[in-house]
Amino acid sequence: MSLGQVRARGRKKEDADRRSRELLDRVGLADQAAKYPAQLSVAGSSVWPSPGPSRWNPKAMLFDERTSALDPGLVSVALEVMRQLAREGMTMVVVSHEMGFARSAANPMVFMHDGRIVEDRTPDEFFTRPNTDRAKDFLSRIPKH
């Protein structure tokens, strides 16, 4: 379960196993701890960020449409994990069309069009008083539930 942490990070097996269990519990997969990676669902593994050199205690995380290929039941799990990371002070760059999530977790809110930053404001300012026609047009197309 935590071989990578032991070999790559030099952690003690007990510490690595504890951290692995914490992370699995965080994304609702604690009951999968005894399984090998090949036995896990690809969709389930998509809830948590992809492996990287500092994956257990990163300074920043990048998410590019992290929920786009998830089963609808896992989208809320993934977004809640990301919200929790934001509350804990994790620096994240998130590319997302999940506007409800962006409004609740972004700080600041950066809106891009054609590779350029069009708006760089607080989420409240962006969603209630966008400055540009492009942002106004985009926001007018978000379905109201």
Please give the chain's pLDDT, 145 residues, in tens: 677 777 777 888 888 888 878 877 776 677 777 877 666 654 444 444 444 444 556 778 888 888 887 788 788 888 888 888 888 888 888 898 888 888 988 889 999 999 999 999 999 999 999 999 999 999 999 887 5
Dihedral angle of Cα 103, 109, 115, 117, to the nearest 10 degrees: 140
What pLDDT, on a 0 to 100 scale, did the predictor assign at position 56?
A: 55
* Domain count across the chain: 1
For 127, counting Cβ atoms within 10 Å of its Cβ (0-12 exposed, 13-18 middle, 19+ buried), the class is: middle
Residue 144: inside a domain: no
* pLDDT confidence of residue 47: 45
Q: What is the pTM of this model?
A: 0.59
76 in any annotated domain: no
Contact 69, 41 (CB under 8 A): no
The answer to whether residue 6 sits within a structural domain is: yes
Residue 20, domain member (yes or no)? yes
Residue 20: phi and psi, rounded to 5, are: -60, -45
Domain that holds residue 22: 1-31
Establish if 11 belongs to a structural domain: yes
Q: Is residue 94 part of a domain?
A: no
Residue 54 covered by a domain: no
CB 61 within 8 A of CB 92: yes
Residue 16 counted as domain residue: yes
